Amino acid sequence: MSEDDPEFEALLDFLKESRGFDFTGYKRSSLMRRVARRTQALNLEGGWAEYLDYLQVHQDEYTILFNTVLINVTGFFRDQESWVQLRGEILPQMIAAKKPSETIRIWCAGCATGEEAYSIAMLLADLLGPEEFRDRVKIYATDVDDEALSIARQATYGEKETRAVPQDLLERYFERNGVRYVFGKDLRRGVIFGRNDLVQDAPISRVDLLTCRNTLMYLNAETQSRVLARFNFALNDTGVLFLGKAEMLLSHGQLFTPLDLKRRFFRKVPRAVPGLGVISSGNSARNALHDMLGADRLQTEALLAAPVATIVVTDDGTVAGVNQRAEALFGVSTRDLGRPFLDLDLSYRPVELRPHLEEVRRDRRPVWVRDVEWARSPGEKLYLDLQVVPLISSDGTHAGAAVFVNDVTRYRKLQDELEYANRQIETAYEELQSTVEELETTNEELQSTVEELETTNEELQSTNEELETMNEELQSTNDELQSINDELRERTEQLNDANAFLESILRSLRSGVIVVDSDLVVRVWNRQSEDLWGLRPEEAVGQHLLNLDIGISTDQLRPLVRQVLNGGDEPEELLVEAINRRGRTVEVRVGASPLVYRAGQTAGAIVVMDQISG
């Protein structure tokens, strides 16, 4: 099978468009193998195109296909060593880092039938206690398989599934219901199940622990990178990612760093997100401005002592507030309060501010004026950054503007010094260029070797994931065969019981009973027949009735049996003289009736013999 088969890609596109499920990010080798199981089970030999036609006609095939592709192999405390590490170190550290009132958020991605989500719930309930668990813990368990989620929500498991649960945890957190175990209702409320496609849907945010075990290995490298980027976003800065034993993240060091590589625990690498700043509500900002314009004493003192030169101008152009830094920098003071702003030198020097004030009043958005050069006095040159910010009153009208002036002269000097130092460094770099070139040549050779090793490592990782995938497929197939074997064993026991019951009936009859098929071959020979004629069942069964050495003349027996086999509906009887196994002459009543199958077809005859006298 080619991994870039256009017919197979058309099948994946059809599934995405018709059912909204995107398999295009899955590894093609594994995906083709799983879908091929369905085509073989349906005896479709026309390839992927024929299976696509079959899907369009048979709507119920979608469910069967998804159950085949989505291998839901999971279990309680799977990979025991990792769970010991989680219980002993990871969870206690996570709880210690949280405030007592803070919520602990867990995301089990790809939860299948829910065993791992309930495993984490038991560990946290053990560490926190049931009461604190109910108050603080939220476990979000998601999967794309609706059928598996339905099983998980029921929280009911058999003895085989709960075999890996330690006995003390089983007794504390499960209730016995017949032959099955039900997870406790109190803790069950803390586990929330929902459908989430890791490839398409938005991730759950602010998560302290994210488990996604043996799910990434089914995805190709590009899709794995997208999903891991979402995981990085979902986790808190100190969040932990818990993966399966086949997943190592060796090529994603910019997103996660190993905590315990052997047991597959990884710590999030925080990333700065450009364009994000402090967000405050509009009401809070308006209230603060209202208080400032209301000349509250404490806020007035804060304005006066602010390290940034600040001038507040009302909507009609009157100076409403200045601070000490503005007085030191521009010579304005509290004496200028109430004066028109246009009368101040600051309105046009060091830069013309009037058009910027008008722009802020018109557009209601801040305006920056950067790198303004100002010669305040002979021999003193300053560099300033100015920002004009609109002030909005509580009723939404324009109340005025605030002018903030930052003195960046020191930073400008530092920048000039840095440029001078850079020029000196460039001169030194030129002298070292020949050495650097030699080192670069050596580095390129080493880089080539590293890339070859990385490629080999990726291939080994891919092979490992493929082997793990095949192992889980074999485990799934083994579970199916085990179920079939259990059913066959049960049917065999039922058949043995039925045979024993029939044998007891035949032995309990006082009459000799002989059952023959349509060719008069003996199929049943009971104990009374043996007692009457002296032939054991193993001597009679399989022999032609008329060839047996019994004390009844075949001329008398043949017409009776033939008449029944030829369609006689009523039972036939006759009295004959015969010689029993002791050699005595006895009178025997012989009756025959047809052996009729459910379809109404005569399949043989039942011959009943009773000794009357002798």
The pLDDT tens digits of the residues spanning 39-60 come to 888 888 778 888 888 888 887 7
Q: How far apart are the first and last CA of the chain?
A: 81
Residues counted in the chain: 614
Token match 């969040």: residue?
239
Question: Does domain 505-613 fall into CATH 3.30.450.20?
Answer: yes
CA distance 355 to 374: 19
pLDDT at residue 305 above 80? no
Q: Domain 80-268 belongs to what architecture?
A: 3-Layer(aba) Sandwich (3.40)
Residue 153's pLDDT band (boundaries 50, 70, 90)? very high
- The residue-averaged pLDDT of 374-382 equals 80
CA distance 420 to 198: 51
CA distance 545 to 471: 58
- The residue-averaged pLDDT of 340-365 equals 86
Cβ proximity of 148 and 196 under 8 Å:
no
6-69 in CATH: which number?
1.10.155
Give CA separation, 367 vs 311, 324, 357, 359, 387, in Å.
Answer: 15, 23, 9, 8, 6
Q: Does 80-268 match 295-407 in CATH topology?
A: no
Q: Find which of 122-136, 276-290, 489-503 is predicted with most confidence, using mean pLDDT.
A: 122-136
**Token code pair at residue 533:** 């004629």
CA distance 509 to 81: 64
Residue 123's pLDDT band (boundaries 50, 70, 90)? very high
- The residue-averaged pLDDT of 502-510 equals 80
pLDDT at residue 283 above 60? no
The pLDDT value given to residue 216 = 81
pLDDT at residue 158 above 80? yes
Q: Poorest-confidence range of 28-37, 180-189, 562-571?
A: 562-571
Mean pLDDT rounded to a whole number for the chain: 83
In tens, the pLDDT along 431-471 reads 887 787 788 778 888 888 888 888 888 888 888 888 888 88
In tens, the pLDDT along 531-573 reads 888 888 888 899 998 888 888 887 888 888 888 888 765 666 8
CA distance 195 to 192: 10
Residue 294's pLDDT band (boundaries 50, 70, 90)? very low
DSSP letter at 310 equals E
The pLDDT value given to residue 437 = 77
The pLDDT value given to residue 297 = 54
295-407 in CATH: which number?
3.30.450.20
pLDDT at residue 507 above 80? no
- The residue-averaged pLDDT of 242-249 equals 81
CA distance 508 to 76: 53
The pLDDT value given to residue 320 = 84
Token match 């047991």: residue?
263
The pLDDT value given to residue 599 = 66
pLDDT at residue 225 above 80? yes
Taking the domains of the chain in order of start, what are their residue ranges? 6-69, 80-268, 295-407, 505-613
Cβ proximity of 321 and 303 under 8 Å:
yes
pLDDT at residue 589 above 80? yes
Q: Poorest-confidence range of 13-17, 21-25, 123-127, 167-171?
A: 21-25
Residue 109's pLDDT band (boundaries 50, 70, 90)? very high
Contacts (Cβ under 8 Å, ≥6 apart) of 583:
none
Indicate whether this model's pTM tops 0.85.
no
CA 382-388-390 angle, to 5 degrees, is 165
Residue 293's pLDDT band (boundaries 50, 70, 90)? very low
The pLDDT value given to residue 360 = 87
Nearest to 383 by CA among 356, 430, 336, 351: 351
Give CA separation, 155 vs 67, 143, 160, 174, 175, in Å.
Answer: 19, 15, 14, 10, 11
